[in-house]
Amino acid sequence: VYARVSTEMDSQKTSIENQIDLFQNYAAQNNWEVVEIYTDKQSGTKGNRPGLKALIEDGKAGKFDVILAKELSRLARNGRLSYELRDICLQNSIHIVCLDNSINTITGDVQNFGLFAWLYENESATSSRRNKAAKSTKAKRGLFVGSNPPYGYYSDNGKLKIREDNTPEIVRRIFREYLDGKGMDSIAKNFIAEKIPTPSQIANKSNASPLWHATTIKNILNNQHYCGDLVQNRTETISVTTTKRRTLDVGKATIRENTHEPIISKEIFQSVKKMLQTRTRTTTAPKSHLFTNVLFCENCQKGMWYKANQKGYRCGGNIKYGDTYCLNRAVIREKELKHIIIEDLHELFHSIQDDEFVQSLQIRLDQKKASITNEITKIENKAKRIRSRKKDYLDMYADEIITREELVEYRKQIDQEVAGLETAKIEFQAKLEECESENYAINLGKKLKEVSILNDLTPQVLHSLVNKITCSIEGNLRIHYNFLNPFDDQE
């Protein structure tokens, strides 16, 4: 069953509970088993909802036969998404039943599907226009209508007020340090080292990062709200069916001066604005070089950036966020790394010309295939044993040894175990397909033959043979090839 409301409000939470009660009563009347309850607290115009995504994935996995919803708008208020859901259900033999009797694929009541899909999207578009008009009116009255107030402020019924914590001082410090000549990257690094909460953390966002970025500093420096003015309606959503926004012309923005207490003076804001226009920000952003997107830091997993002044690669995490984020200061020279890889590949090529060596590689490949096949068999046998427990629990329920709630819980656990085994099986099957799709020794020989006549490493050869290279804090390198290295004893 799928239940959805648009907001996190307490009244809406009660609505979800009421929807679930309706579903459970309906299922009981039809002698159906409720396999799973999926819920979302988001707009129905968007498809990126955790509950809906889980519903679709489980449906494709054959976890249930019917989707129950209060009405089609609970599943989607987006015509395109409505049709996508319908097609997914058709392809996986899943029925859709809406409790308002609008859609019921079991009884064949689907003739008005297109009409309802259009009506609900049109209704959302109308509601969106009304909301935009209401926000525009409030903005013209000098009220803040954004979802998150600027860092350092909180909203009190649309009136911006300065927070009673250290965030206003952080804002003043950003403006002060920038005027003193400090760069945006340097300010961000210092804030990370001092563990100062980021704007997303203060706003309690679910995906809040503890890392400050130069772009965050720049956005604060450009924000006119800090000198007491309201600047709103600068962007708008493209449509109700997407979260993408477009920037409006400057003339369309709603600006009201002196609407709230400033954190910094207008003089300071204008001085910073002039500096932003004239000052060239020195950046450490990576440039594309041979090992860009191939060489990574083993410690923080960030890509390593080429530094022209050091003629080598440095950890991007350390460069951007400092030692607090990553201690890897190793410098990897491009020329030396190319030499290591070429020598390594030359050695492989010469070795693979030996018939006995080629035969040993084929034996290793056959052993690997046998091992994978054995693991798949074990998984299939284990899944079969687990599925047989379902009937045992059903018999126990029929004999009144366990309650219905216990039966549902046990079967849910079994489904989770089986799903985990199926995932593992798919992974092993993918490995087996890799083995089956190539003759290991011959293909490896073809790849390395091109390298044997090269004195330099080209991007084409590098990307065809090397998956990635990792660098430890000590500067030690590990090359991960796109093939099984015969000199590597690890499987």
> Which whole-number Å values give the CA distances from 138 to 112, 145, 296, 415, 432, in the listed order?
39, 7, 49, 51, 62
The pLDDT value recorded for residue 73 is 77
The pLDDT value recorded for residue 288 is 62
Q: What is the pLDDT of residues 111-120, one digit of tens each?
A: 667 665 555 5
Q: What is the pLDDT of residues 259-304, one digit of tens each?
A: 899 999 998 998 888 888 766 544 444 456 889 888 999 999 999 9
Instruction: Please list the alpha-helical segments (H only) found in 180-232.
Output: 184-193, 199-202, 214-221
The pLDDT value recorded for residue 240 is 41
How much of the chain exceeds pLDDT 90, in percent?
24
Residue type, 183: G
The pLDDT value recorded for residue 423 is 86
Sign of the alpha-carbon torsion through 436, 439, 444, 449: negative
Look at the pTM and tell me if it is higher than 0.95. Answer: no
3-state SS assignment for residue 68: strand
Q: Are 281 and 217 in contact (CB under 8 A)?
A: no
The pLDDT value recorded for residue 241 is 43
**Range scoring the smallest mean pLDDT among 4-8, 25-29, 216-220:** 4-8
The pLDDT value recorded for residue 14 is 63
Q: Which residue has the higher pLDDT, 241 or 171?
A: 171
**Tokens representing 320?**
């951007």
The pLDDT value recorded for residue 345 is 77
Q: Is the pLDDT of residue 33 over 50?
A: yes
Output the average pLDDT for the chain. 79
Q: Which residue has the higher pLDDT, 445 or 148?
A: 148
* Strand-pair partners of 445: none
Q: What is the pLDDT of residues 73-91, one digit of tens each?
A: 777 766 667 777 888 888 8
Q: Are 309 and 298 in contact (CB under 8 A)?
A: no
Q: Are 263 and 171 in contact (CB under 8 A)?
A: yes
**Tokens representing 456?**
């330099």
How much of the chain exceeds pLDDT 70, in percent?
74
φ/ψ of 68, rounded to 5, equals -100, 130
The pLDDT value recorded for residue 490 is 43
